[in-house]
Amino acid sequence: MKRFVFFLFISLSTISFSQTDSGDIETYLQSLISNLPAEAGDDYVTPTNADLTSWTTIIDAILLDDLTTARTNAANVNYEIVEYTNTSISPNKVFYVLKEKAIQSNYWGTYIFSKNPERSQLVLQAPHSAYDFNTGKEGIYILKRLNARALFLNGAHRCNHSSSSTCDGTTSVCSGSSEPFKISDLAHNTNSVFQKTTEILFNSVSNSVFIQLHGFSKQSTDPYVILSNGTDKTPTTDYASMLKTALLSTDNSLTFKIAHIDTDWTRLRGFTNTQGRYINGSANPCNTSPTVTSGRFIHVEQEKSKLRQDSSGWDKMNTALGTIFTKTLSVDEFSKKVFLTSENPFKNQITFRAKNVIKVEVLNVLGKSIYKKNTNKENITINTKNYNTGIYFLKVYTTDNTYSKKLICE
């Protein structure tokens, strides 16, 4: 009998550490958010300090590709990590899906990490994935196609729990009248694994940018899109403005408000969002607004018909983000052939050295050529004093290949 129990334990242990699956990651993840607990019910559970300690170990281990440690600690909080191979797009891509076990007890959400991200700085978030209509599906659609670093999805309706968050801000979503946010609203609660995961990735991935997807009911005086970096300050690298430009290139009927540019606009700016406050440097994101902005958090409020209704709308956001956040090569081929001698970000000039050059070109974020020159020089300088702040692409054409690199002008 003891031998039977021993082998049963070994078998169960092996199963728990062999969590793999394959298929269409989009279909798989959509199934996980299709039946989230609705408003009321008090299903959402506040994590303890011990839970958050285990969670920190889990995320750190995933980022180090240490699944053994991650899975051991995930089991402590009723979570598991499925190594999911997406076979619906060629070549196949592998994602680590950190999700609660089938019999749930916490409802903290689902967190997906690409094993080999192609947009390594892009982190997608949908804190109201089902009830900000289709924002979860939109995030999943983009994750699959851009192979972003990660996607965070909430685990329960924002109004699921009756207890109020102690963090700043009010909402009328839950009761119809103004009241504090609920603790189940993950965009307004610092004591959550959603917040903890944000903090870990922000500090571990030095150039990470967080795109948080929301939805709103458009009033007659509203634009179709409201963008905010979480403050009224202008960042050095203005991803919100870049996103506006990129979205307009997919649909020129879209209208916009940007919080740090349209400073008289006060609706749906995300200034009390606790992830945004942390990313912008607040020492107390629950109750204190930041005084500066990092520019690495973008709060995206979207009207339904043009961006959230179906995949035709999701593809606009996918295309726009794919324009801004370009693929990161697993091997930096550019650096092997082209030696960049100026700084990146650059200001007044771009300088580099390369052999067998035949042409040099600079393109803006929309793919428009703004500089082009045929040359056979090895040491090249491009005057950029009149360039606007933003993202550019340097293309160096040689006799054997073409090499590209994303550069940022400050």
pLDDT by residue (tens digit) across 116-130?
Answer: 999 999 999 999 999
Whose CA is closest to 193, among 347, 59, 302?
Answer: 59
Tokens of 19: 């969590």
Question: For residue 398, is pLDDT > 50?
Answer: yes
CB atoms closer than 10 angstroms to residue 198: 28
d(CA 186, CA 193): 9
**pLDDT at position 333:** 65
d(CA 276, CA 127): 12
Residue type, position 140, single letter: I
**pLDDT at position 328:** 65
Tokens of 224: 């179709």
Supply the mean pLDDT for the chain: 92
- Name the percent of the chain in helix, strand, coil, to the closest 5: 30, 25, 45
Confidence of residue 24 (pLDDT cuts 50, 70, 90): very high
d(CA 4, CA 1): 5
**pLDDT at position 403:** 83
**pLDDT at position 39:** 92
Question: For residue 72, is pLDDT > 50?
Answer: yes
d(CA 245, CA 259): 15
pLDDT tens per residue across span 365-390: 777 789 999 999 999 999 999 999 98
Identify which has the larger pLDDT, 300 or 353: 300
**pLDDT at position 169:** 98
d(CA 328, CA 347): 23
d(CA 409, CA 137): 33
Q: Mind listing the domains of the chain with CATH numbers?
A: 14-324 (3.40.630), 333-409 (2.60.40.3080)
Question: For residue 5, is pLDDT > 50?
Answer: no
pLDDT tens per residue across span 217-273: 999 999 999 999 999 999 999 999 999 999 999 999 999 999 999 999 999 999 999
CB atoms closer than 10 angstroms to residue 246: 21
- Poorest-confidence range of 19-23, 222-226, 360-364? 360-364
Confidence of residue 402 (pLDDT cuts 50, 70, 90): confident
The CA-to-CA distance between both ends of the chain, in Å, stands at: 71
Whose CA is closest to 200, among 64, 33, 37?
Answer: 64
**pLDDT at position 405:** 85
DSSP secondary-structure letter at 315? H
**pLDDT at position 216:** 97
Confidence of residue 65 (pLDDT cuts 50, 70, 90): very high
Question: For residue 408, is pLDDT > 70?
Answer: yes
Whose CA is closest to 143, among 185, 88, 64, 181?
Answer: 88
Question: For residue 332, is pLDDT > 90?
Answer: no
At residue 142's C-alpha, the angle toward residues 136 and 145, to 5°, is: 140
- CB contact at 8 A, 18 and 68: no
Task: Map tokens 């428009």 to a residue.
Answer: 368
**pLDDT at position 196:** 99
Task: Map tokens 């939805």 to a residue.
Answer: 215
Portion of the chain with pLDDT greater than 70, in percent = 94
Instruction: State mean pLDDT over 190-204.
Output: 97
- CB contact at 8 A, 202 and 208: yes
**pLDDT at position 327:** 77
Give pTM, 2 decimals.
0.80
